[in-house]
Chain A
Amino acid sequence: MKDWQASTPKSYSEVQEVILGALSPPGRFYWGAVILCLFGLLYGASCWAYQILTGMGVAGINHPVNWGIYLVNFVFWVGIAHSGTLISAILYLLRARWRTSIARAAEAMTVFAVMIAGLFPFIHLGRVWIFYWIIPYPNQRDLWPNFQSPLVFDFLAISTYLTVSSMFWYMGMLPDLAALRDQSTGLKRRIYGIFSLGWQGTHIQWRHYGTAYLLFAAFATPLVISVHSVVSWDFALSIVPGWHSTIFAPYFVAGAIHSGLAMVLTLLIPMRGLLGLQPLINVGTLESIAKTMVLTGLIVGYSYGVEYFMAWYSGNMFEWDTFIWRAFGHYAPQFWVMVVCNVAGPLLFLIKAIRTNLIWLFAVGIIVNIGMWYERFVIIVGSMSHEYVPHAWGVYSPSWVELSIMLGSFSMFLFLFLLFCKFVPPVSVFEMKEHLWTHGKA
């Protein structure tokens, strides 16, 4: 395979040493980053506590924009998660070898992103203590959740996705946790021993594990399509101009994969450098991600175009007016940032020199992340600001509480990812060893 270069490890023990070497005791820079992220997380959590105690009035949410950046962040983080599952599950089924070195980190990104996404409905709810009303159980109110509501679909889809993703990620780590157990001593050995569940790599275990892992990937695959389609229906099943469109499901799924791939680049480029994983996560792998982003960027751009075409072709004056306002109204800067970052940015990857340059890869990844965040902002806030009745038009600005909670969510994500990098193998050890066997090098 073209990304299996001469610098890659040539024996099983070399592979294990390179990957498990990343778990060596970290330096001050690492701990500094962890503490900084922890402070950000605690700051965000304290702002949430302030909101609970004071009331939702501290957020900028008000008529007519009743869904603000809490929902923007919810959709953003769910979208980020999808690429991890694409890389770890879908590309596994398609036998794309280049995914092996990045699948573990990508799946970790998925798990953390879904966890954070799941927090935002609670944050947006305000009265967090009544969240259980959405759980279907016999109750004294004689009520059941309305299964026709997309919000209930969301509850089912996100909880399913979190369960499946986290178990898929954990099960994929079992043989590697056993390897860590076997080379550790003392308390570490005990902890890894517990988490490895006593895995020993017998032929019986591998037989059932191999079949089960294939089935896990097969289950995770439709979730990539279904979960973000369900999230998109939170909007598409309303009658708000700019939301009520049949393109929303594929539009959101493509956008999710687009933003997730960008986040994979943003995370993996520093990770491979700081942990010494360059022999395994080579530029060819990152180039494959960049090429995929060209495709997803074009799909997203096509979706933008189709939205405008449908708004015009439908003859619906409210829909058309909303889309004109998006491009030239109060949120026009955010709209154009969205278009440039999401569509034009990834087109730079058509140039080989750019898509094989780490600095450009990282920069475009950041640009697309920003653009995709603004896409959700423009869709959610932009549409609610400019609905049917002119007297009900209004603008929204996030308050410091909302921005602080958002900062807390990003801090939490980085905090969890940093812990992941140092406590579990960031690259799949046994799958990389299988590569050696397949390529006849061991």
Chain B
Amino acid sequence: MGIFTSLGQLEEAIPLIQQKGAKVRTVYSPIDCREILEKIGVRKTSPVRFATLLGGLAGLSLGVGFAIYTFLEWRFVTSGKPTPPAVPLVVVGFEMTILFGFLSTLLCMLFLCGLPRLRGSQGYDPRFSKDRFGLLLECDRAQREEIEISLEQAGAEEVRVLRTRETSQ
């Protein structure tokens, strides 16, 4: 784990570390830093948007379908207008689209973020929510010293060893 004081240093450190053969496991940051996602091979866009689409469509169907069902169940004719009336369905469908789309986005986001999280993860430092950036790496025991030196050269304020795994034979 390398702890950095600025995002710029961390961004520069990532390719250097990857060249040494270490794998970036987690980046901790107090701010949203999309720039590093590409560097560590993660897509910037999130699949949350699919949940949004599905939730919105479900809400639209539910709202409009339910309203139509109630109109057909109890025909309330006003001013000779047809039942079911088309115009009020727009409002009902619209509101339900927003509500269900929002809720599905929320639930999907929480699921993908692993929230709520009951226990802290390995390597988390309370300073990561304030003004420090963390780079948690995975490497073999043989590479450990080299990676530590690389992190220090890249500007890490602190380098910690959390756990090692045996190299495969």
Contact = CB atoms under 8 A, between A and B. Distances in A.
A197 B66 CA distance: 35
A178 B71 contact: no
A82 interface: no
Contact of A148 (B66, B78, B115): B78
Given A136-B66, A203-B42, A212-B109, A219 B102 contact: yes
A324 interface: no
A92 to B, nearest CB: 13
Nearest to B69: A144
A222 interface: yes
A209 B42 CA distance: 14
Nearest to A14: B131
B46 A171 contact: no
B91 interface: yes
Contacts of A145: 70
B106 A171 contact: yes
Interface stretch (A55-63, A95-103, A152-160, A371-379): A152-160
Interface in A210-224: 210-212, 215-216, 219, 222-223
Contacts of B114: 198, 204-205
Nearest to A227: B95
Interface in A126-164: 136, 142-148, 153, 156-157, 160, 163-164
Nearest to A194: B116
B40 interface: yes
Contact of A156 (B91, B116, B131): B91
A331 interface: no
A200 B92 contact: no
Contact of A200 (B33, B89, B95, B124): B124
A430 interface: yes
A111 to B, nearest CB: 15
Contacts, number: 179
A340 interface: no
B166 to A, nearest CB: 26
Contact of A12 (B98, B121, B131): B131
**Which residue, of B30, B42, B99, B126, has the highest number of chain A Cβ atoms within 10 A?**
B30
A212 B111 CA distance: 12
Given A204-B26, A208-B46, A164 B102 contact: yes
A259 interface: no
Contact of A144 (B36, B74, B121): B74
Interface in A148-187: 148, 153, 156-157, 160, 163-164, 167, 171, 174-175, 178-179, 181-183
A163 B27 CA distance: 32
Contacts of B99: 160, 163-164
B48 A16 contact: no
A148 B30 contact: no
A230 B96 CA distance: 14
A143 B70 CA distance: 9
A208 B74 contact: no
Contacts of B26: 202-204
B162 interface: no
A207 B42 contact: yes
Contacts of B70: 136, 144-145, 147
Nearest to A174: B115
Interface string B73-106: 1101010000001001101101110110111011
Contacts of B160: none
A155 to B, nearest CB: 9
B76 A146 contact: yes
Interface in B56-73: 66-67, 70-71, 73
A205 B113 contact: yes
A157 B74 contact: no
B163 interface: no
A387 B77 CA distance: 26
A327 to B, nearest CB: 32
Nearest to B126: A182
A204 B113 contact: yes
12 contacts: A16-B131, A145-B70, A153-B92, A175-B129, A182-B128, A199-B113, A202-B27, A202-B121, A204-B113, A206-B31, A209-B32, A212-B108
Interface of B: 6-7, 26-34, 36-37, 40, 42-46, 48-49, 52, 66-67, 70-71, 73-74, 76, 78, 85, 88-89, 91-92, 94-96, 98-99, 101-103, 105-106, 108-110, 112-121, 124, 126-131
